[in-house]
Structure formats: structure tokens, C-alpha cells
Amino acid sequence: MHPFSPMTELATHEVANQPTPLGDYNAFEADQPLKEAVAREAPAWVAEPLRALGAQVGSAHYHELGFLANRYPPVLKAFDRYGRRIDEVEYHPAYHELMKLAIEHDAHSIAWKREGEGGAAAHVAMMYLLTQPEQGFCCPIVMTHAVVPALRCQPELAEWWEPRILANRYDPRAVPAADKPGVTFGMAMTEKQGGSDVRANTTRALPEGKGGPGEVYRLTGHKWFCSAPMSDAFLTLAQTESGLSCFLVPRWRPDGARNAFYIQRLKDKLGNRSNASSEIEYKDTYAVMVGPEGRGVPSIIEMVQQTRLDAATAPVGMMRLALVEALHHASQRKAFGARLIEQPLMRNVLADLALEVEAGVAMTMRVARAFDEGHRDDDARDFGRIATAVTKFWTNKRAPQAIYEAMECLGGSGYVEESVLPRLYREAPVNSIWEGSGNVICLDILRAMQRNPETVPAYLRELEAARGGNRHLDAAIDRLKNELRNQDDVQTRARRVAELMALTLQGSLLVRNAPEVVADAFCATRLGGDGGFVYGALPADTDVEAILTRASLQV
């Protein structure tokens, strides 16, 4: 051996006091709050597909795919080698393998294959699990799932596209949809000058013939954000003589030629880097009107309502993985003579994070059940209408701080890119900004209460079901009722109202369904004022051991 071999003379120390790799685990079986929420909110059949998916998303292999998909982000290929315009995006094989995993497990289609039979709950739980190894690829999965009710506004389009949407075959080829066993969908709504104010859109749609629902139009204009531009088709908005209307834009025209779908550039985003988000232009682009002319927003909102629930679920899945990483590190790392997880202050922080995750799981799964029941129950539909917006607002506001705190539990090793925590932290804001930022969602809550006043009693009945179970919750429900009765400065107070609506819903669900130690600690700190502005301020008499045991990997 060479006298200066790094295996001998240059070795200066033994690696010690470092956690072992997390390794393989079943992300469903190891998650006690999730298993209980699924058993409570969904039929018995839902657990089995989640168990199968959990074994894969918890594996080291799929977590490594997440790193690879971000290390080698998508690349725009506007022209082929001969100079022909093709407007394609190339992805790393890891991205395609993650897409294949989700589609073969029916994450995009289960809600419609088992509609009204627990399919929505199964879908939400699947997205919670899929978000953990990687988040970016979930965007086209969510949009493909969400497009179905919007397409049903135009039955002849749904008849052709829906069987291809529901297929559990992933085909990434850039070929006409008619030649593929399965397809994916995207959405392109916002423009430079309007953003969330889509009524300011300037893209124009001209009919080829008589015009109207189901008829062919030609679009000219731009879209500021179009995610997953390699999807097979998109729902988009454009102006006609009757106002803003909804259209289906395929990547390929019926004659087999490429549609005029010009990708100008890919966005250089803070996070969500494995997912290509693009700026596009339409120029005499083939499109078909979906739903009534001039009613584009009501037509496409069918899709948005579905994506909003997924955007509420993703941050909870990310918080869960961050908590798993923090618990794993703290259970093995020693400092000052003891393992981190044995030290009171660290235990307090970890337990507080566990409360946040469990409350998020309970809330998202309860709203998912409302989606399942809303097909046949008006009260469930009214509750789901407003609870979706409340949940999206709140889980996304909590995720960045929770993920940061988990990162701090790991210290410096959590800050470097070899850890998943930096990627989770960069990803944390995206679901709050997409599908309506915080203020937009709060205004939507107010709008729902004004336009559909029955949503308020439906929501309050859900809270009142826990009346008498915890004094802090009872008092908070009363405060919320006072806030809702007061119509003064209602927009100014919208975030205050949304926050209280979220916390009382989470408290109500935990009081009714979680162990007493979990419910009491949550209500005391989130509703009773016996907490702090940072995680790790649980009261000294909290049974932290019980909370940590419940949150740890159940293997």
C-alpha cells in the first residue's frame, strides 16, 4: 500500500456519535396518527393500498430518487437537432420513476374509481405519503386527478379523456394522446398583468365556427405560470365576446401535428425544482371550450377546489418527514452526556412538532371525508366547501416554521444539502402561494360565507360535536362565533378569523379522536394561551413521553 494512502496515514479519527441512515420503513404502518385517521375517516379497504404505497415511499430507494430529481432538474429543449420547434422538457429518469410509482398506485385516479366510496380519502392519504420522498412530481399527479370534475362540465370531452386519465399507465412520450395508454393534465390560468386576478387576463379566443361549449377555438396570448408543461393537455382561461371562458388545450392537435404551445422559459424557482414550471405563449393555438361561454372561472374552479385540498395536504406530509428526520437524529445523537431525545428541552420541541403534524393529519383527512360524502350529503358539501380553504390556509402557514425547527434539531448537519431538510424548507412556501395565496384564500373563505351562508352552520356543527370535551376549546368556539357575527372590518380581520377557524377545527377533531394527552396539550397551547410563539413551549406538566411515543416510527 502506498505510504500516503488515505486509508492509513491520513485517517485522523473514527466517525462516531452520528446517526445511522434512516433506511427502509413503511411510511404508512409507521405513522400511528395517519393509520388512526384513515380508519376513522375512510372505509376499511383504503388501508391496504396505503400499506403497499407506504412500503415504497418509505424506502431509501425512493428517497434517493427525490434527491436525484432535484440534483438534475428539468431542461427546456425548444428545438430538435435540425432546428424544428418542439417545445419539450427533458427530465431525469428519477422523475419519471416517481411519476410511474404514483400513477401505478392510482394516486391520480382512485378518487374517481371509488367515487363516494372513500376514494377521496384514499387519494389525500396517498398524496400525504407521496409528498415525503419528493414533492415536485406531485404537481402533475394532483392536476391530473383534479381535472376530472371540470372536464365533466363538457360530457363529450370527458367521455374521450377520462378513460385515459384514469388509466394507471405512465407514458412520458411526446406523442398524441390517442397513441398513449395513459395521460396527464396541467393547468394554465395566470398572466403577467393579473396573477390571481384572472379576470384581468388578456388571452383571446376566436371560434373556428359557431362557437360555444364543446366547439373549437384558436387562442392567442400568454400564461405566466404553466406547471408540468409536458402534460398531454391543459385547462386554461381566455377571453371571448361573452367574457372569460375555460378551454382544453392539448399538446397535439387532432390531425397529429404539434399544437402551437410555445414554452418561452422554465422558471428558476426557490424550491419545487424537479417540477418544470414554465412561461408559455399561445399563437393561433387549437383549443376546445369547456363549459358555458363566459363562465370560465366557475368551470375551472371545479379543478381548483380539488387541487386546493392537495395543496393543504402536502405541507402536512412534508412536516411529517421533517419530524421523522428530527426524531431519528435525536434518538441516536448524544450531547452533554445524554441522547438528545432524553433531554427535556429537545423533548419539548419534538413533542410540540408532533402535535402540529397530528393536528394537520386529522384536519386534512376529515376534509377528505367531506369530499367523499359531499356527493350525497348537503351538510358534508357545505362543510367541505369552507373547510378546504381554511385547511389550505393554515397547514401552509405552519409548515415553514415547523420544518425549520426540525432542521434546527439536527443542527449543522440539517442545514447541508445532503440532508433532506433544506429541500423541504425551500419547498414549504409553494403550496401556500399556488392555488391562491394566503390573502386570496382568506377572501375566498369570506366569499363562501356570504354566497353560501349554510357553510357557516355546517362548520360550526363540526366544532360543536366536541363541546364539553375541553374548556379551552369551548371558549375558543365561543370566540369564533363572536368573530363571525361581527361584520365590521371583516376583510381586515380575515386572517384572524381563518386562524381561529383552523385551530378550533383541529382542536375539535383531536378532542374527539386523539388520546387525551394529545388533545389537552394542543388545546392548552393553541387555544388556551398556555404556549409560546415558538415550538417547544409546551407546559411543564405535559406528558411528553406519550406524545413522542405516538409520533415515533412504529416499527
Q: What is the CATH number of domain 183-295?
A: 2.40.110.20
Residues 554 and 402: beta-carbon distance below 8 Å: no
Q: What is the CATH number of domain 299-551?
A: 1.20.140.10
Q: How many CB atoms lie within 10 A of CB 7?
A: 8
Residue 7 banded pLDDT, cuts 50, 70, 90: low
- How far apart, in Å, are the Cα atoms of 293 and each of 146, 241, 248, 343, 399? 21, 9, 13, 63, 39
Ranges of CATH 2.40.110.20 domains, the chain: 183-295
Is pLDDT of 321 > 80?
yes
Residue at grid coordinates 375541553:
470
Residues 477 and 467: beta-carbon distance below 8 Å: yes
Ranges of CATH 1.20.140.10 domains, the chain: 299-551
For residue 302, what pLDDT is reported?
Answer: 87
Is pLDDT of 325 > 90?
yes
The count of C-alpha atoms lying within 13 angstroms of the C-alpha of 284, restricted to the half-sphere facing its C-beta, is 1
Residue range 198-213: average pLDDT?
Answer: 95
Residue range 167-185: average pLDDT?
Answer: 98
Instruction: Give pLDDT tens digits for 26-55.
Output: 999 999 999 999 999 999 999 999 999 999
For residue 555, what pLDDT is reported?
Answer: 54
Residue 231's contacts (CB-CB under 8 Å, 6 or more residues apart) are 140, 143, 144, 183, 184, 185, 186, 251
The average confidence (pLDDT) of the chain is 96
CB burial of 521-539 (b: ≥16 within 10 Å; e: otherwise) equals: bbbbbbbbeebeeebbebe
Residue range 400-427: average pLDDT?
Answer: 97
What percentage of the chain carries pLDDT values higher than 70?
Answer: 98
User: Taking the model in full, what pTM does it have?
Assistant: 0.96
For residue 8, what pLDDT is reported?
Answer: 52
Instruction: Give pLDDT tens digits for 483-520.
Output: 999 989 999 999 999 999 999 999 999 999 999 999 99
Is pLDDT of 304 > 70?
yes
